[in-house]
Chains A and B, each alone.
Chain A
Amino acid sequence: MQFHSLLFIYLFLPVTLFFYYIARKSLRNIILLTASLIFSSWFQIYLSLVLIGSITMNYVAGIVIERTSNEKKKKLFFLLAVIFNLLLLCVFKYLSFLGNTVSELISSFGIDPFVIKGFAMPLGISFYTFKALSYLISVKRKEVQAQKSYIELAVYISIFPQLIAGPIDRYRNLSPQLTDHSSSFERFSSGIKRFILGLAKKVILATPLAMVADKIFNSPVTALNAPLAWFGAICYMLQIYYDFAGYTDMAIGTGKMFGLEFAENFNFPYNAVSVKDFWKRWHITLSTWLRDYLFLPLAYARSKKMRKEKYLGLKTDNWIYLYATTITFLLCGLWHGAAWTFVIWGLFHGLMLVLEQFGFGKILKRAYRPLQHLYLLLFLLISWVLFRSPSIQDAFQYIGNMFGTGGQPENFSLVSEYLNTRNIFVLIIGILGTTRFFDHILGFLKSFPEMKIAVIRATGTHFYHICGIIFVLLTLVLSTIFIIAGTSIPFIYFKF
């Protein structure tokens, strides 16, 4: 059941809201857990058993880690629990990739290759495993107490708005809310707006962008030229943003309707001026997770072992940064998918971060600000091609097309063929939406009630709110029309 399906919006959501709000506060977690299990089972029933297994193990592990006073044993239990979580991820997500890589390696030594058929990947396993790990680490670090209520921990790990694509909320943020269950019309209505905004991002913007990007990326080399290849990359860059940001908005909006405030995941990422800045704005809950639970521990552990001096002309701190960044982004790439394209994508980001740290960042800071944006956008366009392509060979071939190795004459006639009314509208709104343009418009409209001109002030409040309600509900109707027409496609982050 996808968020942008009729079944979710017009059946699952209202029925769950109904039972949630008629139930006593003490029963609301049970309602949420039941809804979450139905939600996950809807894709395939046996896969939700993996989710239940993960919840149970992490529940037991949390309590055991907290109750063990012996530090060595505590560390051992913690390690075992972490290994269990990672093993779960490896078996369901990476088994086939690892097996086939080994097979290719041994076949180069003349040994017969073999094929490992992986399991079907449980829905959102990458997301809920990271949430579970964040819980265990917090318990181990004594930042939080181990959860004694199985239901509450189960809701934290499996809560349906976050189940398939995050945000990867920290336990310490969500846990108090799952006890409190406070709600208000203000929060509920802001949740409605956020949900519909996300739905529109997905259905009205990301879907047509996906259609263009898919057509261009699937075209044979002979049918491409450089402008068209760049155009395809731009469409994909916008698609992935609106797809994922749309999902996140829907998740946050749904959370608000249930009185829950989830962590934000995006902050105008394409407005960034460097790769470092980008990762502070893109998939924030993942980047902060990686920073807190992987990068910093790796850097800290290494810094304890290395003396403060220079190696090969580089300061120790820089070596540590290089080491921790490479590993973090290698794993970040792998987290996104079990394929070499994701590994290269992660390493490419890591490499640019290292270069920015080693002096390029300083040069960049001194550069004209539009040039800083241009640098980041060019970098992202190339990196998203790696992310989008089915193989490294395809990625390099496409990047080659962007630089003029395509089979068509280098002019804009092929691009113009794609510029129909819908695509022009989507591109204009899409590009403006990556900036703060609509924030400024909204700010202007919000200022109506405070204006000094009495007529505008008097009518402004009503005008602003009534127009807002009509706009929100019409957007829901329009999105529903596109869903019914069957032109929407699954979320990209759904497969991670």
Chain B
Amino acid sequence: MYQVILTVLFLCMISFSFLNDFFGFYKVPETSQTENRKLASKPSFDINKLDPYPKSYGNYFNDQFPFREDLRLLNSLICYYVLHQSPLPGEVEVGKHGWFFSDQKESVVYQGKFDLAKYQISSLVKELHNRTIDYGKKGIRFYVAFPPMKPEIYPEYLPIDFRRAPNGTVTDKIVKAIKEDPVIQYIDLKTALLKAKKFGRLYNHTDNHWNRIGAFYGYNEIIGRILKDFPEIKPVTRSDFFFKTEIESAGNQANMIGLSKYLFEIQYKPIFRKSKSKYLQPIHKAPDWASYIMDYEVSKSTGDTTLPSVVIVRDSYASVMMPFLDETFHKVTYIFDAWRYGRNEAIIADMKPDIVILIIFEPHISHLIGK
């Protein structure tokens, strides 16, 4: 009798998925909430294209598996809370004391698995050199800053197998080459953050980005450098705002493993005692390739014409730095050009800034090659 029970239950379990395909007992969602992607649809069978069919069908079957989302979440909960490890090795690394690290491009750069040839580094430096010269001809000062990756600032929380490249990373080589160029105005954020880490937590636990405190130290370093050229600037100081502590849902790394609802992040939100900046209407239409249309061009103004204007070509790392930058200049225009970090000549021609700042998250520096 027990053999029959086991057989029947087993057959019911293994048949449920394909029977569901026919009868639709369980509705499989079209998109995965935890993976933030559209699930694969059924591939059409074409006798002339047989080779790709098995893989496409396999992807479809895996994606349409009933209870997939719930089972993935269960896996994340078991892995994280019971087994104390990443449910998604290769994408998210769980480090020590609840610190999450991205195991994608950051890991590759940090561990020295991504490198550039000498001529590529030269081309990258040349691009920054030429931009500095070209902007200079228009009376614009050009500055470059690279927000460092989380592992560079908090290596002590990394998992054991996440080791820094013994002979240095590609960023080390690029920075060395940039520093040797007398024209490029490079602002070293890594050293500043390493000095500042003793004063507070500068990066999010569950996200690969820095937090607002880290961004504020980054801001100080950038403005400290620009101040030498534009002494009229009045930098934001700690007395201009206070940090309000808020508990927010966990960051992008926790989201990737489906645990953003189960983990949280303590955030420090700057509240300005007196904020002057106001949004301006964007002038330029976002191109089709812009990943975040609303963020393509964002402009704010304090209305203080004694201050210089600035265009900042940025990525997501500059987001939490924006409240401080907003209060510092006459007019600030932020351009998020889908990690192209281009010259954005049309916007610069219209905005006529005094300053252009290029803020590139460290693993993306190579995007400048061939510009």
Contact = CB atoms under 8 A, between A and B. Distances in A.
A215 B111 CA distance: 13
Nearest to B21: A11
Interface string B54-92: 100110011001001001101110110011110111000
Nearest to A418: B160
B355 to A, nearest CB: 43
B18 A45 contact: no
Contacts of A9: 14
Contacts of A41: 54
B119 interface: no
Given A17-B11, A482-B75, A484-B62, A192 B6 contact: yes
B13 A476 contact: yes
A453 interface: no
Interface in A264-316: none
B2 A469 contact: yes
Nearest to B96: A417
Given A211-B89, A469-B2, A484-B75, A7 B61 contact: yes
Contacts of B58: 1, 5, 7
Interface in A406-432: 414, 417-418, 420-422, 425
Nearest to A45: B50
The SS class assigned to the B binding surface is helix
B163 interface: yes
The SS class assigned to the A binding surface is helix
B51 A420 contact: no
Nearest to B4: A185
Contacts of A220: 166
Contacts of A417: 159-160
A9 B65 CA distance: 12
A465 B1 CA distance: 10
A45 B51 contact: yes
A482 B75 CA distance: 7
B10 interface: yes
Contacts of B89: 211, 487
Nearest to A44: B51
A6 B75 contact: no
Contact of A6 (B17, B79, B85): B17
Interface string A393-408: 0000000000000000
A189 B166 contact: no
A186 interface: yes
A109 interface: no
Contacts of B54: 1, 41-43
A481 B74 contact: yes
B15 interface: yes
B84 A421 contact: yes
A86 B34 CA distance: 50
B75 A185 contact: no
B14 A485 contact: no
Nearest to B111: A220
Contact of A192 (B7, B57, B84, B159): B7
Contacts of A472: 6, 10
A481 B62 CA distance: 12
Given A222-B166, A473-B13, 4 more contacts: A10-B17, A45-B51, A476-B10, A485-B72
Interface of B: 2-7, 9-11, 13-18, 50-51, 54, 57-58, 61-62, 65, 68, 71-72, 74-76, 78-79, 82-85, 87-89, 159-161, 163, 166
25 contacts: A6-B61, A7-B61, A10-B15, A42-B54, A185-B4, A185-B7, A188-B3, A189-B2, A189-B3, A192-B10, A193-B6, A215-B161, A220-B166, A418-B160, A420-B85, A421-B85, A422-B84, A468-B2, A469-B9, A473-B13, A476-B10, A480-B71, A482-B75, A485-B87, A486-B88
The 10 closest A-B pairs by CB, nearest first: A422-B83, A417-B160, A189-B3, A485-B75, A465-B2, A10-B17, A185-B3, A14-B15, A215-B161, A42-B54
